[in-house]
Amino acid sequence: MEELVGLREGSSGSPVTLQELWGPCPRIRRGIRGGLEWLKQKLFRVGEDWYFLMTLGVLMALISYAMNFAIGRVVRGSGIPELKTILSGVVLEDYLDIKNFGAKVVGLTCTLATGSTLFLGKVGPFVHLSVMIAAYLGRVHTKAIGEPENKSKQNEMLVAAAAVGVATVFAAPFSGVLFSIEVMSSHFSVWDYWRGFFAATCGAFMFRLLAVFNSEQETITSLYKTNFRVDVPFDLPEIFFFVALGAICGILSCAYLFCQRTFLGFVKTNRVTSKLLATSKPLYSALAALVLASITYPPGVGRFIASRLSMKQHLESLFDNNSWALMTRNSSPPWPEELDPQNLWFEWYHPRFTIFGTLAFFLVMKFWMLILATTIPMPAGYFMPIFILGAAIGRLIGEALAVAFPEGIVAGGVTNPIMPGGYALAGAAAFSGAVTHTISTALLAFELTGQIVHALPVLMAVLAANAIAQSFQPSFYDGTIIVKKLPYLPWIRSRKISSHRVTVEHFMNATITTVAKDTPLEEVVKVVTSTDMAKYLLVESTESQILVGTMERAHLVQALQAEPPSWAPGHQQCLQDILAGGCPMEPVTLQLSPETSLHQAHNLFELLNLQSLPVTSRGRAVGSVSWVELKKAISSLTNPPAPK
């Protein structure tokens, strides 16, 4: 039905609805409507899009504030060093809080959107995201079934989550589990192996299945498919060159780790850069990104470092089994104006440079550019860039061998051409394994390419690189822990027999504070107020000093602050009365002896993720050992004091 309309009495204007004519308070409603019309005309005088721009500004300001609040707390960087610290028994506040998940995802998306400009990956942040979800699901499961929290089980779930993070990036479940175990924990229960493999397999399968559903692949295949020669992938004399490549990668990894750790420490201690990082992180990030973007600009210097290639295209081109140097020996293909997906290797050739010039220039530039990029306070992964650097090192060696032996190396009367792509694969595994101190990168290379024909030479190269790197430099993640001053327990690198003669008696803290059951409450109050220890050693009596347990400082303070019950006349209040009143104490289940060796104490701390242990002799408390004493003892073995 059409709406009835009419005219107001004495009015010659437009007709209005009868509901408006007969509604309550028509004059007031007309005044309000007129005021709103006047306000609309004034506000939209500069254009109706002003309103939307204002709304956009307000919303983005709110989002920016929320992201700065979250990202500034814990989500910048890789995340693996902090996770390694947590698995060693240290509590880092808010690191595993699910509230930071969204900020980490947004920050990582922005990092990956830069492409090859910043040359950063996503392995570390994915591991962080995975462990955040695992910790949250663990808390939900614990609350749902009403069980108390189990610290050891939580750590096992975090290690499995780290394996899932690696597996979902590379679709490599086997190497994902082994890599997470090598990097995250010094000891791992074989019983919990299946947890990591099950979760990593599910993650890798779904990751590749989504590619099939999205019509990117016809079936589930490897991430970087190669077509290496299967019948004779390498000749026996080439084993020597693969081992030499591993040694070169080990030496270069030591140089990279030293420079990266030194520069990161310089940035944190320099007056200008430390002030920028403390007060203006966006400004520092913008300046660093501007420097990197200016260099990687394709029409400029970027044309000599294959800057138009994405990280995936870098690997696909470097794993090419054809020799570029031999292909360009008699011909000089022009540098294409646009990227040719069918001939990615054209990006590594320029008429002004040879293949060796572009590869060498790429290594030199990316070496320091990656070090600079690691100082930017934003979520980023550093494994993939290191993997590509290693592939470029191997490619350079492989191209040199292909030129030196254009017909191949003669072995047994048969000549087979050298495949530089095989050396790129070995270099990627060796350099990344040396930087991270892992062997599983060899298996990762096979899972990435889907071919295992270079299993023996790649593994030998990785072993040679690790032998050099582990002898001279801490791993990338351990070095970051050192620079960030996170709590850590170093390895005992001394191989001397004399190191096994060092016992707890030589380095324990003999100045300890104990509280006895017969100690008067006045003395207990003095001990609590004069010290800041988290736990106190509880002994049977002041005279015997027989260790019976430990008491939490918080519980002791709470018991002292509680109103005491009525005591019998003449009764002196002592600690035994508080214990009888219900103040909790923990029995000592683990303790060291003064004759315990340094190696035994170190293994015990690593295996059980301990922070400190009491030292007893015939039951008497004589000292304590914590990370501080262990680190000093290990340091004295590595750098013994000068003789007096």
Task: Give tens-digit pLDDT for 154-192.
Answer: 777 788 888 888 888 888 888 888 888 888 776 677 766
The answer to whether the CB of 406 falls within 8 A of the CB of 326 is yes
Task: Give tens-digit pLDDT for 611-620.
Answer: 889 999 988 9
Look up residue 411 and give its DSSP letter.
E
Gyration radius of the chain over CA positions: 33
- Alpha carbon 219 to chain centroid distance? 31
Query: Is the Cα dihedral 506, 508, 512, 514 positive or negative?
Result: negative
Which pLDDT band, with edges at 50, 70 and 90, does 641 fall under? low
- At 429 the three-state DSSP class reads helix
- At 538 the three-state DSSP class reads strand
| Two tokens, residue 502 | 């060092």
The answer to whether the CB of 118 falls within 8 A of the CB of 111 is yes
Residues in the chain: 644
In DSSP notation, 478-515 reads: HHHHHHTT-----------GGGGG-BHHHHSB----EE
Q: What integer pLDDT is reported at residue 257 of this predicted model? A: 94
What average pLDDT does the segment 523-534 reach? 84
Residue keyed to tokens 């010094």 = 186
Vertex 504: Cα angle to 501 and 508 (nearest 5): 140
Task: Give tens-digit pLDDT for 68-112.
Answer: 444 444 455 567 888 888 877 777 767 777 777 777 777 777 777
Q: What integer pLDDT is reported at residue 52 of this predicted model? A: 44
Is the pLDDT confidence value at 644 over 70? no
Q: What integer pLDDT is reported at residue 558 of this predicted model? A: 82
| Two tokens, residue 133 | 């979800």
Q: What integer pLDDT is reported at residue 248 of this predicted model? A: 96
Look up residue 571 and give its DSSP letter.
P
| Two tokens, residue 433 | 């394994």
What average pLDDT does the segment 272-299 reach? 83
Task: Give tens-digit pLDDT for 372-406.
Answer: 988 888 888 888 899 999 999 999 999 999 998 88
What average pLDDT does the segment 28-37 reach? 76
Q: What integer pLDDT is reported at residue 565 of this predicted model? A: 52
Which pLDDT band, with edges at 50, 70 and 90, does 307 fall under? confident
Task: Give tens-digit pLDDT for 3-16.
Answer: 444 444 444 455 55
The answer to whether the CB of 516 falls within 8 A of the CB of 546 is no
Q: What integer pLDDT is reported at residue 512 of this predicted model? A: 85
Which pLDDT band, with edges at 50, 70 and 90, does 569 fall under? low
Which pLDDT band, with edges at 50, 70 and 90, does 256 fall under? very high
Residue keyed to tokens 């990316």 = 366
Which of 205-209, 241-245, 630-634 has the least mean pLDDT?
205-209
**Closest-CA residue to 625 (of 589, 584, 591):** 591
| Two tokens, residue 96 | 């595993």
What per-residue string of b and e applies to 601-620 under the rule 16 or more CB within 10 Å gives b?
Answer: bbeebbeebbebbbbbeeee
What average pLDDT does the segment 48-61 reach? 44
What's the pTM? 0.78
Is the pLDDT confidence value at 19 over 70? no
What average pLDDT does the segment 33-48 reach? 62
The answer to whether the CB of 179 falls within 8 A of the CB of 143 is no
Residue keyed to tokens 């800041």 = 532
Specify the DSSP element, H or E, that contains 262. Answer: helix 238-269
Q: What integer pLDDT is reported at residue 80 of this predicted model? A: 82
- At 623 the three-state DSSP class reads strand
**Closest-CA residue to 547 (of 623, 616, 626, 595):** 616
- At 268 the three-state DSSP class reads helix
Q: What integer pLDDT is reported at residue 252 of this predicted model? A: 96
CA–CA separation, 49 vs 185, rounded Å?
A: 56
Task: Give tens-digit pLDDT for 454-477.
Answer: 889 999 999 999 999 998 899 998
For 374-454, where are the alpha helices, taking DSSP H only? 383-404, 420-436, 441-449
Q: What integer pLDDT is reported at residue 20 of this predicted model? A: 55
Is the pLDDT confidence value at 426 over 90? yes
What average pLDDT does the segment 218-237 reach? 74
Query: Of residues 314 and 227, which shows the higher confidence score?
Result: 314
Please, which residues bridge with residue 624 across strands? 509, 614
**Closest-CA residue to 73 (of 52, 92, 45, 48):** 92
The answer to whether the CB of 324 falls within 8 A of the CB of 355 is yes
Is the pLDDT confidence value at 56 over 50? no
Report the 3 state secondary structure along 67-94: HHHHHHHHHCECCHHHHHHHHCCCCCCC
Half-sphere exposure of 102 (CA within 13 A, CB side): 8
Which pLDDT band, with edges at 50, 70 and 90, does 127 fall under? confident
| Two tokens, residue 513 | 């504070």
- Alpha carbon 460 to chain centroid distance? 27
Is the pLDDT confidence value at 47 over 60? no
Residue 22 burial class via C-beta count within 10 angstroms: exposed 0-12, middle 13-18, buried 19 and up: exposed
CA–CA separation, 209 vs 444, rounded Å?
A: 19
The answer to whether the CB of 385 falls within 8 A of the CB of 369 is no
| Two tokens, residue 119 | 């040359």
